[in-house]
């Protein structure tokens, strides 16, 4: 057994003051378990917040899980912080906090600030370090070039455990290191600029996809150590690939070892279930009005940005945070002080969080998954916005998928679903998502959402992707969509990589690679992605032919692009298109080419604009438009 707990603190009075004021953003430097040296002796310092505790002990294998052996000391300042130094403990030690509450309960809790945890279903914390020798200094120096809002932003959303597995051991999860070996060449081949990992924080229930977190500071041990995750991120950065993490400050599960009733009271969550319990997910809602909870959450955001060098946080379920009546019936929620349904404490928290992140971590992005018409989600806080960098454009996703699911013969009656997004496209900095939520729970895979026979399904999906990548906003595609995964996403198994043996799937993947190359290579598609000046509708009313025409613009009009979509299976011969400029227009990308398994209808590689007024343009061109296809033309002189 190790020696008794010694009185020691890493917390200054100022630390405690900031913590209690909700303004301490680096609690991970002070709380949790920290391997340090005190008076020349190596050991571990522990600090935990449990204001309702009579006594807090550290229990583990080192003391036979005896709650009387290593009792922490409560601070004198009424902060509710318990701390102490246990000599001779080292990294790798398994532990929990034994909390004897004022009501007489005895709880065993994982450390809210633990940097590592046992592999589930075991639930103890593990003393660990986040020391790692990074080699991504070039990426960090050039981070603005990768992450700014006027740069290409093409995101590959993925779940680490079900992206790929070893065919010889399909039930085994690949490690962070094994994923790096496979993922980096794949992202380089397909051309995405960023990957987005669904939550990597520790979670006890694997089918929650990571959205029910118990270890907010712990990289999931299912895939390896903190250093192995850092190695994955480091390698991605060295390959010029950005990393976004899903983050869940909206709710947490009620597992006995987690944050729920941490010290026998509703410490992290609201006590009243009308504010503290989430009916959709059977989970618990953070108390954003409690300063210590704000310090905890903002510190957690800082932790991933600082210690793991990530480029952005995609914040989950923001709508559930903003509305007090979210998924609640009358009488099941409490209005705010003004009688409204806005969660003013959550609004204040989100503003403060975003202000702090953009102040201390410039050239990173926060991205809101927010599904309502809340105004100013991605506008600056000084302009009464929430301060996010971007917002998922859920309306675009639902309308676009609804349109493409229609049989082409009916599309003329649903024409507005394709153009309506233009009405509000610039009210926020929108990211266009085709996310994991659209390919589970009976919604079918993207390829099977498309109507028609096999050829038409693939043609439709290629046209949808061309529309997505040429419309205003950043892009996000869930794994498997790039090659036409046929089955719905299943968290318990790998994607169906064998499909790439078949030409339609391989052709779709090749198309995505070429589409990403065009997107990254032509500034008109990203320099004004969030400005109405960057998109000009030329034809948005041709219901009879289901033809759409628009141009994309950057800072230099010489780089302007012309996009043409024909969303019926009928070839449009000698079709006249309004052109925004005189001169020649050269074919840049054709979704119907044979190399993508398209029909290969001949399309002129270069056309000369004529002085014929058409579609409200002074110039126009004549060309054949392939069936269920899209064309991108670039201006040439």
Is residue 316 part of the annotated active site? The answer reads yes
pLDDT of 637 > 80? The answer is no
pLDDT of 506 > 70? The answer is yes
pLDDT of 1 > 80? The answer is no
pLDDT band at 244 (very low <50, low <70, confident <90, very high): very high
What domains does the chain contain, in order, with CATH numbers? 13-127 (2.60.40.10), 535-636 (2.60.40.1180)
| pTM for the predicted model, two decimal places | 0.96
Active-site annotation holder among 118, 178, 311, 369 = 369
Is residue 539 part of the annotated active site? The answer reads no
pLDDT in tens, 347-386: 999 999 999 999 999 999 999 999 999 999 999 999 999 9
HSE-up of 326 (CA within 13 Å, CB side)?
Answer: 25
Q: What is the pLDDT of residue 2?
A: 58
Q: What percent of the chain has pLDDT over 70?
A: 100
Place of tokens 């082409």: 408
pLDDT of 73 > 70? The answer is yes
Gap between the Cα atoms of 400 and 484, Å rounded = 17
pLDDT in tens, 453-505: 999 999 999 999 999 999 999 999 999 999 999 999 999 999 999 999 999 99
pLDDT of 429 > 60? The answer is yes
The overall average pLDDT reported for the chain is 96
Active-site annotation holder among 316, 370, 428, 482 = 316
Q: What is the mean pLDDT of residues 199-227?
A: 97
Q: What is the pLDDT of residue 423?
A: 87
Judge contact between 313 and 216, C-beta under 8 A: no
Judge contact between 591 and 514, C-beta under 8 A: no
pLDDT of 98 > 80? The answer is yes
Gap between the Cα atoms of 147 and 153, Å rounded = 7
Which two three-digit tokens encode residue 62?
């080192």
pLDDT band at 421 (very low <50, low <70, confident <90, very high): confident
Q: What is the pLDDT of residue 203?
A: 97
Gap between the Cα atoms of 456 and 452, Å rounded = 5
Q: What is the mean pLDDT of residues 581-591?
A: 96
Pick from 144, 152, 116: nearest CA to 131: 116
Q: What is the mean pLDDT of residues 553-560?
A: 93
Gap between the Cα atoms of 632 and 590, Å rounded = 7
pLDDT in tens, 565-584: 999 999 999 999 999 999 99
Residues in the chain, overall count: 637
């Amino acid at each position: 057994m190790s020696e008794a707990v010694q009185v020691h603190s890493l917390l200054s009075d100022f630390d405690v003051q900031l913590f209690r004021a909700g303004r301490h953003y680096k609690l991970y430097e002070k709380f949790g378990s920290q391997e340090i040296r005190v008076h020349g002796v190596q050991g571990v310092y522990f600090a935990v917040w449990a204001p309702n505790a009579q006594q807090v002990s550290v229990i583990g294998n080192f003391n036979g899980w005896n709650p009387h052996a290593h009792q922490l000391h409560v601070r004198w300042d009424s902060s509710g912080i318990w701390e102490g130094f246990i000599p001779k403990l080292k990294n790798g030690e398994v532990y929990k906090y034994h909390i004897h509450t004022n009501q007489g309960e005895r709880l065993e809790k994982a450390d809210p600030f633990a940097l590592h945890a046992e592999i589930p279903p075991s639930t103890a914390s593990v003393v660990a370090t986040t020391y790692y020798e990074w080699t991504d200094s070039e990426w960090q120096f050039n981070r603005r070039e990768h992450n700014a809002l006027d740069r290409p932003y093409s995101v590959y959303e993925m779940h680490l455990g079900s992206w790929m597995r070893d065919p010889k051991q399909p039930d085994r999860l690949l490690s962070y290191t094994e994923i790096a070996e496979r993922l980096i060449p794949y992202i380089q081949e397909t051309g995405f600029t960023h990957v987005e990992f669904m939550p990597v924080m520790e979670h006890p229930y694997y089918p929650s996809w990571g959205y029910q977190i118990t270890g907010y500071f712990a990289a999931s041990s299912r895939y390896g150590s903190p250093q192995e995750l850092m190695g994955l991120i480091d390698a991605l950065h060295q390959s010029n690939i950005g990393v976004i993490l899903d983050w869940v400050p909206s709710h947490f599960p009620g597992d006995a070892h987690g944050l729920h009733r941490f010290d026998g009271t509703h410490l992290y969550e609201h006590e009243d279930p009308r504010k503290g319990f989430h009916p959709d997910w059977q989970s618990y809602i953070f108390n954003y009005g409690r300063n210590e909870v704000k310090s905890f959450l903002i510190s957690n955001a800082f932790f991933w940005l600082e210690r793991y060098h990530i480029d952005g946080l995609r914040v989950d379920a923001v709508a559930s945070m903003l509305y007090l009546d979210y998924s609640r019936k009358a009488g099941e929620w409490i209005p705010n002080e003004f009688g409204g349904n806005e969660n003013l404490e959550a609004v204040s928290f989100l503003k403060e969080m975003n202000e702090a992140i953009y102040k201390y971590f410039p050239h990173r992005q926060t991205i809101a998954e927010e599904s309502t018409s809340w105004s100013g989600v991605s506008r600056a806080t000084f302009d009464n916005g929430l301060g996010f960098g971007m917002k998922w454009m859920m309306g675009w996703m639902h309308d676009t998928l609804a349109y493409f699911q229609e049989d082409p013969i009916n599309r003329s009656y649903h024409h507005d679903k394709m153009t309506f997004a233009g009405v509000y496209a610039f009210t926020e900095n929108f990211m266009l998502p085709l996310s994991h939520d659209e390919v589970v729970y009976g919604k079918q895979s993207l390829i099977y959402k498309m109507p028609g026979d096999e050829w038409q399904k693939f043609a439709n999906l290629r046209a949808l992707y061309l529309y997505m990548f040429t419309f205003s906003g950043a892009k996000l595609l869930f794994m498997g969509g790039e090659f036409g995964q046929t089955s719905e996403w299943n968290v318990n198994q790998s994607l169906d990589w064998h499909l790439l043996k078949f030409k339609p799937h391989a052709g779709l993947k090749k198309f995505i690679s070429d589409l990403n190359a065009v997107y990254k290579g032509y500034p008109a598609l990203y320099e004004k992605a969030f400005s109405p000046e960057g998109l000009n509708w030329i034809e948005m009313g041709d219901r009879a032919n289901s033809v759409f025409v628009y141009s994309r613009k950057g800072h230099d009009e010489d780089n302007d692009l012309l996009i043409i979509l024909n969303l019926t299976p009928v070839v449009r011969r000698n079709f006249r298109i309004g052109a925004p400029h005189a001169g020649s227009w050269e074919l840049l990308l054709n979704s119907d080419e044979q190399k993508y398994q398209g029909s290969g209808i001949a399309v002129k590689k270069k056309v000369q604009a004529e002085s014929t007024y058409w579609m409200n343009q002074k110039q126009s061109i004549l060309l054949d438009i392939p069936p269920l296809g899209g064309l991108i033309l670039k201006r040439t002189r």
